[in-house]
Structure 1
């Protein structure tokens, strides 16, 4: 079932909004390119709300002190221990096959954001 969570214009670029749908904590995020994603708002490590964390780019490098921010991978970082989750897939960056958060389908209709739960 689709649930209205906000207006598209209410989500700023790299912004997020915590919502509760059917007693499920969900964080809705808007990427730099304007796409909207929804993830479970609970870090699987110790349980804090991911919505209290920050959206950032994945950082890589070939040597110590080298930082390359990968634009194609935006992450939501846990506020407690900095675990990072891809906002598109919910997969962690350090163990993508084992550690992830649930994602939900998002649709935008008439400038309104809906999440399917």
Structure 2
């Protein structure tokens, strides 16, 4: 005679597989299709003409959404060259630039008035 637990094992295994697959789809699995990447978050602070973190190159996957948040201590404009995206900066107020990186290349992100480089985006 087969125990009740033994009869339920295939059902439990199928249920666990279903839950695992559902979690992978809902949370994004590492084997997700290209272009299904997450948002690239970049946060920059400007204080006393000092940029934090220090300007550097940031790799971005082509097709990925980029969200750049800049908080400065002076009125200015942050600009992403090549994409012609900009945001007005007001002292102490975070400003956000968001776009899809759909062009390959190296793109400067800087302020216009103070001419500070915030970072360089490397899109490939």
Q: If the length of structure 2 is used for normalisation, what is the TM-score?
A: 0.26
Q: Indicate the structure with greater strand content.
A: 1
Structure (1 or 2) with the larger CA radius of gyration:
2
